[in-house]
Amino acid sequence: MYPDKGKIETLSGVIDQSTGSVTMRAGFPNNRYILRSGGTGNIFIPHQEKGVILIPQKATTDLQDKKFVYLVTDSSTVRQTEIQILPIDDGKNYVVTSGLKSGDTVVTEGVGSTLKNGMQIKPKETNPEV
């Protein structure tokens, strides 16, 4: 990871349909002469969202292009709930934009094919990794 921050100088208007990527040019300070002319790399662009919830991807299931999680109810049963997420993710977590509210308890382990809507479970509290 290059330690200095850069600035986007040009951005191609052409989007690669197969990857969703674009070509851009960014300028970076090069006081230590690490960067060379014509070099390429991946650029991380910070993105912030307010009023969203971050959940592990392993807590979700897919059904007909929709994402679902299992919420734990007061009676320790599970209820399948559809969620909406941002189209970008970090490979481990999803940013939930709707379908959950702060304080909801989501099942994160054993979400595979054995869990069914309305099933009674014994929740174990864990510390979130994020």
Residue 102, C-beta contacts closer than 8 angstroms, at least 6 positions apart:
53
10 pLDDT higher than 70? yes
> Average pLDDT, stretch 101-107?
90
CB neighbours of residue 47 within 10 Å: 8
Q: Which domains does the chain have, with CATH numbers?
A: 1-46 (no CATH), 48-130 (2.40.420.20)
84 pLDDT higher than 90? yes
1 pLDDT higher than 80? yes
124 — pLDDT class (breaks 50, 70, 90) = confident
Q: Give the pLDDT of residue 130.
A: 47
Strand extents, DSSP E, 42-98? 53-56, 60-63, 66-72, 78-85, 93-98
